[in-house]
Structure 1
Amino acid sequence: MSTYQLQIKKMKLQLAVLFISALLRESIAMPAVDHCLIKFEDSLKETMALRRSCEEANLKDCCQIAEASKIIDNDNYTPGSGIYDISNVCRSTAAFTQDIFPSMQARCNMESGDGGWTVLVKRTPDVDERVSFKRPWVEYENGFGNLSGEFWYGLKNMHCLTSREPMEVEVEVSKTDGTKLVLSYGNFRVDGPSTSYTLHVSDKQDEGFDFSQHHNGIKFSTLDRDNDQNPGSCSAIYNKVGNWFNNCYTMHLTGMPNPILSSVYDYAELRVRPKGCAAFGDEPDSCE
């Protein structure tokens, strides 16, 4: 067979592959997507129970998961707290959500208040092995830990989740003896990387201890990137962990081995949700 004939044969084979691929996209891929959408609308309970991806429904956070359940099932179903798939609002490649986990996932607290909280930080001694928070900048940026235990959700993800619309925040800490403290603020935002992920927290909703006075407007710091207001390094002083250190802290959820918030606690959770927790908001703005 001549070279010319071989080239013709190769071209025909390539065209056949392209044709088959096009048929597969039309006959398999699109119906599969339609099937997922129909399945979601017909049975949200089953969808959530199986932890199916919410990409098809374009649910961006735990609030929208909670709101969707009320809309579709006439307020008769509330999804439980746990780990859910959400659509990747950041369109990022953050290691915490792309490499450690198979898809964009979030830990949802559906019990506090009306639920719909996306958890950004979790500390608990109820695990087989504690997570070390002695990490460099890049790990705090991308996230680390395990969503079923202790974790830091990642500054990139915190920025993307809190910058697309006004957010409120709860910080809950507790001790094994049952002592508990919950602080609520009406405004919470983490700015982008160009600001070293500056924290904005204000509009305290309750009386008593207020950590925002010391941490509002403060850049994030780690041992290898010192942005604090201390002449030395707060991270170096306090076990080489990251935090929105001022000089140095009143809130220290990354404290080792225990979180600190006006006192030393055993458990801690920082969680956010959109103000009003409205379902199916507009498409998010692009992130830095």
Structure 2
Amino acid sequence: MRYLFILYVFLDYIKIIVPTINSLAVTTTPIAKKRNIQTRVLKLSRQLLHCQELINERKNKCKLIGDLLVKEIPKFIDRLHPHRDATLKKIMSNYLFSDCSGIIQSGIYDSDVYPIWLKGGYRFIHIYCDMESGSHITNKTGWITFQQRKNGKINFNRGWEDYVNGFGNPNEDYWAGLETIFLLTWQNEIVFSYGYRIFRPNLRVDLEGWDGFHAYVEYKRFYLNSESNYRISGLGKRFGTAYRSNFRNSVVQNEFSTFDHPAEGYYFLPGCSGPHNSGWWFLGCSFSNLNGVYQGPTEKMSERFGIYWYQWVLINPNNTALKHASMKIQF
């Protein structure tokens, strides 16, 4: 009986306590939830700040590593493959590029000496490609440089055989040779069902004085006639800055002459540029001679001995001697 009484008392106590606890729980839950949310938000904020610090630290480390790699990777490549440029040119030679524009189309854009396949001669020539100068006529880059004056290291006072075969260094002073120039102008031959057609290249002349003044001229169409002492033929309309429109062309359609092989029937005035100091397309008192004697920075352009361009004094009031001169073709 005593245990039964205790059980009844306990049940009555439970009936009183449980509602009280439930009422307290209902009234305190929103406050507890609010505090819990605030605690979580605070923790998340701290975690985000910590993540941001880690990200910034990683960025700085990655930047340092990236800068180091940019500097060091080329050195490692040089160590692993020290002759990559020569290898590149060797690989290129297997593609039989016939002009500099084709090299650009293959994804190589640096001006440099490249192997060009000479179709008419069935052989390679190494020649400088100007990949930077654009063209007023074709809107393309990629010029085959067959004549170049840069430093005066090469003597241009040479005989006929040298001018036919070529001489010099394509990276410096250079003359590709009349026979090579002639064959280059025949590179772009298109075969049709009824025959074939030759598309002639355009000619570009670049001139730069010791005072930094630069001018150029482009001629539409240019080729040589090998049967008449490599006479210039078919020189077309001109564009550029190295001429005055009311004056005749500085490059004249004459036969080529040297001191030991002057063109027959031509005359050369003693006070003008002529075969006495180089090979060129001379006649009388010539209008140009880019193969003349290389002059220094303090000299003026010389009509008789130096690298000469008739209209230079008209476009450059200083009339300084030419520091650089080059002749190029492009299809």
- TM-score when scaled to structure 2? 0.57
Q: In the alignment, which residue of structure 2 is the partner of 1:68?
A: 106
Letter in 1 for 2:267: N
Matched, 1:116 2:150: no
2:138 aligned with 1:107:
no
Change (3 A) 1:116 1:231: closer
Instruction: Output aligned runs, 1:150-165, within 5 Å.
Output: 150-164=173-187, 165=199
Shift of the alpha carbon at 1:233?
7.7
**Residue 261 of structure 1: aligned partner:** 309
Cα 1:260–1:214, aligned 2, differ >3 Å: closer, same or farther? Answer: closer
- Matched AA of 2:112: G
Corresponding letter in the other structure for 1:245: F
Identical counterparts, % of pairs? 23
Structure-1 separation of matches of 2:178 and 2:128? 16
In structure 1, what is the Cα distance between the partners aligned to 2:185 and 2:248?
Answer: 17
- Would the aligned equivalents of 1:221 and 1:235 in 2 still touch at CA under 8 Å? no
Which residue of structure 2 aligns with residue 134 of structure 1? 157
CA shift for structure 1 position 240? 2.7
| Larger Rg belongs to | 2
For 2:109, which of 55, 79, 87 is the aligned residue? 79
Give the conservation status (yes or no) of the 8 Å contact 1:163–1:190. no
Gaps of 5+ in 1: 1-45, 70-77, 94-102, 275-288
Aligned residues: 208
Q: Describe the shift of the 1:231–1:265 C-alpha distance in structure 2 as closer, same or farther (beyond 3 A).
A: closer
Correspondence 1:169-184 to 2 at 5 A:
169-184=203-218
Matched letter for residue 325 of structure 2: A
Amino acid at match of 1:249: S
For residues 79 and 231 of structure 1, the distance between their equivalents in structure 2, rounded to whole angstroms, comes to: 43
> What per-residue deviation string (whole Å, max 9, x for no partner) do you get for residues 235-258 of structure 1?
995643100002131121001124
Query: In 1, Cα distance between the equivalents of 2:174 and 2:182?
Result: 16
The 3 A distance-change label for structure 1 pair 237 and 47 is closer
Q: Judging changes above 3 Å, is the alpha-carbon distance between structure 1 residues 212 and 224 closer, same or farther for their aligned structure 2 residues?
A: farther
Give structure 1 regions of 4+ aligned residues with deviation exceeding 3 angstroms: 46-49, 206-216, 231-239
1:1-288 matches, within 5 Å, as 50-69=88-107, 78-91=108-121, 103-113=124-134, 114-125=140-151, 130-164=153-187, 165-192=199-226, 194-200=227-233, 201-206=235-240, 208-209=243-244, 213=249, 215-227=251-263, 229-230=266-267, 237=274, 239-258=276-295, 259-262=307-310, 263=312, 264-274=321-331
Query: Displacement of 1:52 after TM fit?
Result: 2.0
CA contact (8 A) 1:61 1:106 kept: no
- Closer/same/farther in 2, CA of residues 111 and 53 from structure 1, 3 Å limit: same
User: What's the counterpart of residue 36 of structure 2?
Assistant: none
- State the Cα distance separating 1:79 from its structure 2 match: 1.9
Q: Which has the higher contact order (CA 8 A, sep 6+)?
A: 1
AA matched with 2:150:
T
Secondary structure of the corresponding residue to residue 157 of structure 1: helix
Summarize the Cα distance change of 1:61–1:237 in structure 2 as closer, same or farther, 3 Å threshold. closer
Letter in 2 for 1:124: K
The answer as to whether partners of 1:215 and 1:246 remain within 8 angstroms in 2 is: no
> How many angstroms apart in 1 are the aligned matches of 2:118 and 2:248?
29
Calculate the aligned-residue CA RMSD, in Å.
2.7
Gaps of 5+ in 2: 1-83, 135-139, 188-198, 296-306, 313-320
Deviations 1:20-77 (A, max 9, x none): xxxxxxxxxxxxxxxxxxxxxxxxxx788722253422211212111232xxxxxxxx
Deviates more, 1:262-271 or 1:135-144: 262-271
Superposition deviation, residue 143 in structure 1: 0.2
Q: Secondary structure at the match of 2:285?
A: coil
